[in-house]
Amino acid sequence: MNLIDVVVVLVVVAYAVLGYLRGFVAGAFAMAGLLAGGVVGLVAAPLLLSNLDHGIQRSLLAVVIVLVLASAGQATGSHIGGRLRERVTHPPARSIDAVAGVVLSAVASLVVCWALGYAVSGSQIPGASTAVRGSKVLAAVDSVVPQGVRGALHSFDTVVDATLFPRYLEPFTPETIKPAAAPDPAVLQRPEVKSARRSVARITGQAKCDRGLEGSGFVYASERVMTNAHVVAGVAQPMVTIRGESYDATVVYYDPSLDVAVLRVPGLEARSLAFDPDAAQGQSAAVLGFPENGPFDARAARIRSEQRLRSPDIYGTTQVVREVYALRALVRSGNSGGPVISEQGRVIGVVFAASISDSSTGYALTAGQVGDAARAGARALRPVDTGECA
């Protein structure tokens, strides 16, 4: 057990005692108020904080909004329930009411702790996300929570998340970061890597939720650009910019589970980058893209490890296992969908996430993992639906 587990146990015990004193009737109203206030907070936080940039301040404010509204709802419900409990005067009935109050309060408080932990686990609140991920108590609760409930927290989750990347791990799974030698800057001077830069694109678009999205991508076949699904989620008409020229594009392949999309770009003339599925731990590489919607950026990288990560899809509704490389590299929002290039100028991975606990670690889907998507996207001609905003 870690500190979060101790806090959760103390909270549950405290609420159980309070439930005994208040009884089931008063507790039911208090918990109903707590949950109602919490739901209002989950809905209100994304609306109230929509104009704030992603960051720790936004994460903290979102948590505060939910806690304040949930507490207000609990106080209101407790007052109403307390008045009703005064009418329960028969001793046996009050005993049953007290015992039932213990169970109700303990379970409800545990659910609330899980919901807050779920959201905080994807944030960059210093120390909190790492501690929450290591909680055995919350992990046990999470194992019995229906997937649909996790999906309901998605909109709040995107507010608390301090990055623009999707979740790359299950919420209560500790992150394993293996040591690796520092990246070698010399890789950026190799002719093959320099040549690959000319095939890297900036991708922008306006999503259905009135949010501007941006990311990176790369040419891998004739008039085809690969990127992440979360870069074009909810976007009907993405724009591809490469070497200063902009092109209208259509999404012809979209996989929100794997987090891969392929864009068809009529008239695009650029060298196609080849894939290399045989990269290895410790291998030197380069991360290419347009981080934070800025100018082209190339960063030296090194493969820390190859992993099979179990994580939610980009909408948080289903679970998927992805084959990924953990990279020692600086990966920022906007690098999403950009290629990880080997010293030979081949694509060994597609960036899709950055670590929330270590700024020198990023994650890329392996070339082998995106192989089927690449082949299907190269053949596809018709536009496909890109769903809702991720």
Catalytic residue among 230, 284, 313, 342: 230
> Nearest Cα to 261, choosing from 236, 293, 287, 286?
236
Q: How far apart are the first and last CA of the chain?
A: 33
- The C-alpha atoms of residue 328 and residue 286 are separated, in whole angstroms, by 10
Print burial letters for 359-372: b (CB count within 10 Å at least 16), e (below 16).
ebbbbbbbbbbbee
Tokens standing for 339?
Answer: 């290629």
Enumerate residue ranges in the chain where pLDDT < 50: none
Q: Is 259 a catalytic residue?
A: yes
Query: pTM to 2 decimals?
Result: 0.80
Cβ-contact 27, 19 below 8 angstroms: yes
CA distances from 361 to 28, 175, 303 (A): 45, 11, 10
Catalytic residue among 142, 161, 259, 297: 259
Q: What is the DSSP letter of 125?
A: -
Q: Is 230 a catalytic residue?
A: yes
Q: What is the DSSP letter of 238?
A: -
- The C-alpha atoms of residue 227 and residue 219 are separated, in whole angstroms, by 9
pLDDT at 386: 96
- The C-alpha atoms of residue 226 and residue 42 are separated, in whole angstroms, by 34
pLDDT at 37: 83
Q: How many CB atoms lie within 10 A of CB 381?
A: 7
Tens digits of residue pLDDT in 291-316: 998 999 999 999 999 999 988 899 88
pLDDT at 347: 99
Instruction: Give the max Cα distance, the chain.
Output: 87
Catalytic residue among 129, 284, 311, 336: 336
Tokens standing for 309?
Answer: 């990560």
SS3 158: helix
Range list for CATH 2.40.10.120 in the chain: 185-379
The 3-state DSSP composition of the chain as helix, strand, coil percent (nearest 5) reads 40, 25, 35
- The C-alpha atoms of residue 378 and residue 34 are separated, in whole angstroms, by 51
- The C-alpha atoms of residue 219 and residue 200 are separated, in whole angstroms, by 7
Task: Please name every residue paired with 311 in a beta bridge, in sequence order, or none if there are none.
Answer: 320
Tokens standing for 228?
Answer: 């992440």
- The C-alpha atoms of residue 179 and residue 290 are separated, in whole angstroms, by 26
Q: Is 336 a catalytic residue?
A: yes
pLDDT at 34: 79
Give phi and psi for 351, each to the nearest 5. Answer: -60, 135
H-helix segments, 86-181: 91-120, 128-133, 136-142, 147-152, 154-160
pLDDT at 158: 59
Cβ-contact 180, 303 below 8 angstroms: yes
- Beta strands, E only, 231-373: 239-242, 245-248, 250-255, 260-264, 284-289, 297-312, 319-328, 339-342, 347-354, 361-366
Cross-sheet strand order for the sheet of 239-242? 245-248, 239-242, 200-206, 212-221, 224-227, 260-264, 250-255
Tens digits of residue pLDDT in 28-83: 888 788 778 877 877 777 777 766 665 566 667 777 887 788 888 878 887 787 77
- CATH number of this structure's domain 185-379: 2.40.10.120
- The C-alpha atoms of residue 213 and residue 262 are separated, in whole angstroms, by 16
